[in-house]
């Protein structure tokens, strides 16, 4: 595995492995996005199933509070969402996701975790599912053109929120908090 210096640096700063919080896709959409990732994401960097990142690196010292809050948020009904288009990541490609309720969940979590989140996560959330990253610009543009030609919006409901740890150079899911409401 390729070592990821920014994550290794955060582990030193945090005094342990950072925490990742994601919004999890329903099975059919997950399969579709994972297939695109296997096809277009550089294999050495494709270390996590398709997802929507909510928080990139929370300190491990906050794990108890994060778990409590995710459990609380999961008591509600699954937020409605829709894959609405493509997002140009410069050296990659993502699908944009529209979900006012998931944006509101992120804002509430950010407020309740104030002081624990890094600057990257302390701003309005742009929901997306990355299917390609860290490729030459021309390759990203070619994929975007191909996907745009066949794109159709995809409505769905998020299935849950997940907490993962950075361990052994991989994100490893610690727990899935399924929406129940």
CATH homologous superfamily of 5-178 equals: Cyclic phosphodiesterase (3.90.1140.10)
Distance of alpha carbon 163 from alpha carbon 127, whole angstroms: 17
- Reported as a pLDDT band with limits 50, 70 and 90, residue 6 is low
3-state secondary structure 98-122: ECHHHHHHHHHHHHHCCCCCCHHHC
Per-residue pLDDT reduced to its tens digit, 45-94: 888 889 999 998 999 999 999 999 999 999 999 999 999 999 999 999 99
Is the per-residue pLDDT at 8 higher than 60? Answer: no
Rounded to whole angstroms, what are the CA distances from 97 to 3, 4, 148, 170? Answer: 30, 27, 15, 25
**What ranges do the domains of the chain cover?**
5-178
Confidence of residue 125 (pLDDT cuts 50, 70, 90): confident
Give the burial class of 154: count Cβ atoms within 10 A of its Cβ; 0-12 exposed, 13-18 middle, 19 or more buried. middle
In percent, how much of the chain has pLDDT > 90? Answer: 73
Report which of 53, 50, 51, 52 is spatially closest to residue 34, judged by C-alpha positions: 50
Q: How many CA atoms are closer than 13 Å to the CA of 25, on its beta-carbon side?
A: 24
Long-range contacts of 143-147 (CB under 8 A, 24+ apart): 143/40, 143/93, 144/86, 144/88, 144/93, 147/86, 147/93
Kindly state the percentage of the chain with pLDDT values over 70.
91
Backbone angles phi, psi at 80, to 5 degrees: -70, 150
């Amino acid at each position: 595995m390729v070592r990821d210096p920014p994550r290794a640096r955060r582990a030193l700063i945090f005094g342990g492995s950072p925490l990742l919080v994601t919004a999890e896709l329903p099975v059919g959409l997950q399969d579709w996005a994972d297939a695109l990732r296997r096809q277009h994401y550089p294999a050495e960097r494709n270390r996590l199933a398709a997802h929507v990142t909510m928080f990139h690196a929370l300190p491990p010292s906050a794990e108890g509070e994060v778990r409590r809050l995710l459990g609380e948020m999961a008591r509600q009904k699954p937020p409605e969402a829709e894959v609405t288009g493509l997002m140009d990541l410069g050296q990659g490609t993502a699908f944009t996701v529209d979900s006012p309720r998931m944006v509101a969940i992120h804002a509430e979590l950010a407020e309740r975790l104030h002081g624990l989140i890094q600057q990257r996560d302390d701003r309005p959330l742009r929901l997306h599912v990355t299917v390609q990253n860290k490729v030459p610009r021309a390759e990203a543009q070619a994929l975007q053109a191909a996907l745009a030609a066949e794109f159709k919006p995809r409505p769905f409901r998020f299935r849950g929120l997940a907490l993962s740890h950075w361990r052994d150079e991989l994100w490893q899911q610690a727990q899935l908090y399924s929406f129940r409401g």
